[in-house]
Structure 1
Amino acid sequence: MATIYEVAKAAGVSLATVSRVMNNNTPVREATRVKVLAAMAELGYRPNSIAQSLASSRTNSIGILVSELHGPFYGAMLTGIEAEFRAAGKHVIIAAGHSERATEQDGIEFLQSRNCDALILHVEAVSDDYLLKLAQGSTPFVLLNRHIDGLSDRCISLNNEFGGFLATDYLLQQGHRAIAYIAGPMWKTDARERYQGHQRALAAYHLSADSRLFFEGDFRETGGSKGLQQLLNSKVPFSAVVCANDEMASGALTTARELGFNVPADFSVVGFDNVNFAYYTYPKLTTIDYPISAMGQMAARWVLQRVYQQNTGDIQQLFEPHLVSRDSAASAI
């Protein structure tokens, strides 16, 4: 097996230059980089990651903790993060927290035990105090979809309240007044903020939310299905339904069709997230765009800048949602 010394000799450069090319952490002239990479390929040289980490005190690996691994939302998030790190020659280790405090803490401890250079955390159940204490440790981390005042410089979040406002305001502009709401689990910050936006939009039209037209779902298709069934069983008239995410909106659309209702002729449906299947539902889903892939990329750039001192440009910490109008929402009759 070829050694780094043989690579340096074949490329006609120093050991330090070969090391800089492999670690990709210090500028090297492009011609020199090409020469070193060609020598590595010709000799079949594969860097020893353990030796690299001992020499640089870096493992070139980043830990990612997400709530779940299923569904298009988390797929888009992880794809955005991994693509950014892959382009920078870094690798990711992924764990799931399942929105449970103990599991999230265990996931964080596991990633720390793997000597990750930094962490990207999409956590919902651990407390602000826990994260503030974690920030005092030696492992840098950035938070996705969560804002904590004491950690604002390491938070990348969405204006969820404004997204909730946009969804309901759009329906109000279309003439709807009896608007039902299928929420996410209300113990989650994003679910509460989206509902607060819904209430703000109603208040702008001198309306208030009707508790009989509210259902607390689970951010899954089953929640949307059960929510729509309960709303219909209540016998309280409504002309539109806002769902706090696209999975629940998809469940509501499917149940409406199974029960013989026509969307949007009988009632409109608006979702939240704009995941990839929103364009392929029937009818195509009007929804709020949540740029989670771009936010994942921004979290990765935060790590590359703060931990690896790479110039990744300005870090955007607050993202604004926007409405995507399709076929599932129409003017009130």
Structure 2
Amino acid sequence: MATIYEVSALAGVSLATVSRVMNGGTRVSEKTRDKVNKAMDELNYRPSSIARSLASNCSNSVGILVSELHGPIYGAMMSGIEKQLRTAGKHVIIAAGHSDAVSEKDGIEFLIDRNCDALILHVEAISDEYLIELAKSKHPFILINRYIPQISDNCISLNNRRGGYLATKALLEHGHRDIAYISGPLWKMDASDRYLGHQDALSEYGITCNDKLLFESNFQEEGGNEGILALLDTHIPFSAVVCANDEMAAGAMQAARDKGVAVPDDISVMGFDNILLAQYMYPKLSTVNYPVKDMGKMAASWILKNIYQASQPEIAHVFEPELVWRDSVNSL
């Protein structure tokens, strides 16, 4: 295998010049650049990414830490990030934190040890204080779906409380008054904010929130399944249920049908996220759009602008949800 020394000798230039050519340096004449490229082609020399990193102090890689590697939300987010960065000639290294503080910290340290130029973090269990301290270090990062006032420039978030409000407000506008709620784990900020939005909408209509019509679940299909069965078992009448994500809504709809409860004739169902499958469920799911792919692209743009000094559109730090009306809700 050819070495950089052989390239230097064949091209008749210094090692430093070969390094500048490999790393796109501007202080090299076109004639010299052509000589070096010709020598690399002749020797079939492929520059080592490690060598490039050492020479330029830039690995051209970005670390991504997400809660899970499965699920439509994380897939859409990572797809948006990877496509944006790959177009700019950057690569991604991915780790999972599993919504556990120790695992999230381990994931961050793993990505830093891999010499990533910057990090994109979707973390839920790590404290605000840890992230505020991390922002003071030499390791740049951007947060997705989390807002911390002290480091707001490092945050790209969804207005989850507004989204929860829109979901319940839509049901209220269609005549529903007895509305149940299946939440995600309420220690998670997005789940808590969505439930607060639900309460805001009820309060606007002068309705007291009934805690017995709340089921705290896990953001997964089986959680929605368990949630609707538990709510039906209370024998407290309700005409509609808001699910804090579409996966739980899918589980709730299936469990209701299995119990002989028709959607939307007997119970209307509202979701949150607008995952791809929402439009293919039966009935098609009314939901709130969470533009996570666009937020992933925006996080990548933040990295390209702030770390690689690439020209990018203005960075949006807060995204607004929108109601998506389909067939799973009836008017009373």
Structure 1 length normalisation: TM-score?
A: 0.90
* Root mean square deviation, CA, Å: 3.0
The answer to whether the 8 Å contact 2:19/2:55 transfers is no
Alignment map for 1:36-75 (pairs within 5 Å): 44-75=44-75
For the pair 1:222 / 2:222, whether they are aligned, the reply is yes
Give the residue type in structure 1 aligned to 2:280: Y
1:196 maps to what in 2?
196
Deviations 1:171-228 (A, max 9, x none): 1111111110001101011111001100111111111211111110111111101110
Q: Residue 147 of structure 1 aligns with which residue?
A: 147
Task: Give distance in 2, aligned partners of 1:233 and 1:50.
Answer: 60
Match of residue 242 from structure 1: 242
Which residue is 2:299 aligned to?
299
SS across alignment from 2:147: coil
Q: Distance in 1 between matches of 2:92 and 2:308?
A: 15
Query: C-alpha separation between the residues in 2 aligned to 1:165 and 1:25?
Result: 52
Residues in 2 aligned to 1:298 and 1:179: alpha-carbon distance in whole angstroms: 35
Q: Say which is worse superposed, 228-237 or 39-48, in terms of deviation.
A: 39-48
Answer whether contact 1:225 1:251 (CA < 8 A) is retained. yes
For the Cα contact (< 8 Å) 1:65–1:108, is it kept in 2? Answer: yes
State the partner residue of 2:254: 254
SS in 2 for 1:215: strand
Query: Aligned residue for 1:101?
Result: 101
Counterparts of 1:310 and 1:15, CA distance in 2: 28
SS in 2 for 1:147: coil
Asked whether the 8 Å contact 1:135–1:141 carries over to 2, the reply is yes
Amino acid at match of 2:111: L
Question: In structure 2, the residue corresponding to 1:247 is in which secondary structure?
Answer: helix
Compared CA separation, residues 108 and 212, structure 1 to 2 (3 A): same
1:163 corresponds in structure 2 to 163
Sequence identity (%): 62
1:10: Cα distance to partner?
11
Taking the TM superposition and a 5 Å limit, the aligned residue runs for 1:70-149 are: 70-149=70-149
Structure 1: runs of 5+ lacking an equivalent:
none
Structure 2 Cα separation of the partners of residues 25 and 264 of structure 1: 63
Give TM-score scaled by structure 2 length: 0.90
> Is the 8 Å Cα contact of residues 25 and 308 (structure 1) preserved in structure 2?
no
CA distance in 2, matches of 1:37, 1:253: 61
* Residues 325 and 36 of structure 1: CA distance in aligned 2, closer, same or farther (over 3 Å): farther
- Segments of 5+ residues of structure 2 without an aligned counterpart are none
SS state at 1:273 partner: coil
